Amino acid sequence: MDASSDTTGTTRIAQDLLGWYDTHGRDLPWRARPGSPAPDPYRVWLSEVMLQQTTVGAVKAYFAAFTARWPTVMALAAAPDEDVMAAWAGLGYYARARNLLACAREVAARGGQFPDTEDGLRALPGLGAYTAAAVAAIAFGRRAVVVDANVERVVSRLFAIDTPLPGSRPLIREYADVITPDLRSGDFAQAMMDLGSGVCTSRSPRCLLCPLSAGCAGRASGEPERLPVKAAKKAKPVRKGRAFWIERELGGEAQVWLVRRADKGMLGGMRALPDDGWAARADGCGEGPASGPWDSAGKVDHVFTHFSLELSLAVYLGGRFEGAEGEWWPLDRLDEAGLPTLFAKAARLALAAERQDA
């Protein structure tokens, strides 16, 4: 099907989808219902950054906590780096948090107002094509073509695009551009996301509930779930590393030694357990932060975007630590340290080993 040659058909797609969205669109804390004033650009931007590579279910609690603590972009811009990084802990992809702060501070420097055009938004730190288009459309009512993974799936099926990803993305964007209406493009983008999330799902799409099923070439083929075609995944390499749990008791208070990771690089700017530098190496285990009577607590496995990690944990109790800069953190307040998921797993392993030995 050539979408550009069927003006009536593409107009009908927008009409049918928007009609469906007006009734079935999700109520989300960063959205405005159809017919309501546009949502605060700060909330739209914050939600879109959080939602990158993360599910709506996982984001809701973080979004509520962030907006309660930092209700405006000016408040976020003034927040200490370590507080924001700690609040982000568990959401993953920590470069997003660093970009979040950089962007908030740039907007604050401009008087606290986000640019209201796609090009203006693209000029802000950390805003790629997708986020700029989403904020422009949803917060400012600009006509913008918003394409995320859900939209890729809907468009691939609607027009039976069988070129494998990522090679099909230019064609998907071309078709998405054709069907995006001039008016209500923000609602249209959110409707496409909702359709992909709840109806046109990766597996077992619910075609009988889809407002676009009558004209869907993928459904007509009898195998809509075959689309979009994805290239075979390459096996992820496995790295190995060590982390160190160094604990002492001072004045009756148990404390653990934490370091702050370098601002650039993996898990940059986060508090963490000291380790052997695994993030900078592709194989083997490096040196530890100190010599001592180490005991093994086992290992944790963690999957990053481009590799998997086997992290062995060495435990050293009751000794003085003199090494890399860090801080003694009260063990009963460890949940306030904002450890990234990898090191939170390692901490749970160390504490479980202590309980077993007790």
Residue 99 contacts residue 125 (beta carbons within 8 Å)? yes
Can you read off the two tokens belonging to residue 241?
């590393």
Residue 328 contacts residue 256 (beta carbons within 8 Å)? yes
Q: Report the sign of the C-alpha dihedral through residues 279, 281, 285, 287, in that order.
A: negative
Distance in angstroms (rounded) separating the CA atoms of residues 201 and 195: 8
Q: Is 325 a catalytic residue?
A: no
Distance in angstroms (rounded) separating the CA atoms of residues 22 and 31: 13
Eight-class DSSP state of 80: -
Distance in angstroms (rounded) separating the CA atoms of residues 97 and 216: 39
> What is the Cβ-side half-sphere exposure of residue 227, based on CA atoms within 13 angstroms?
27
Beta-strand ranges (E) seen in 167-290 are: 238-250, 253-260, 271-272
Can you read off the two tokens belonging to residue 136?
């422009």
Amino acid at 173: R
Largest CA distance in the chain: 78
Amino acid at 73: V
At 14 the three-state DSSP class reads: helix
State the catalytic residue, choosing from 48, 118, 152, 247. 48
The residues annotated with a catalytic role in the active site are 48
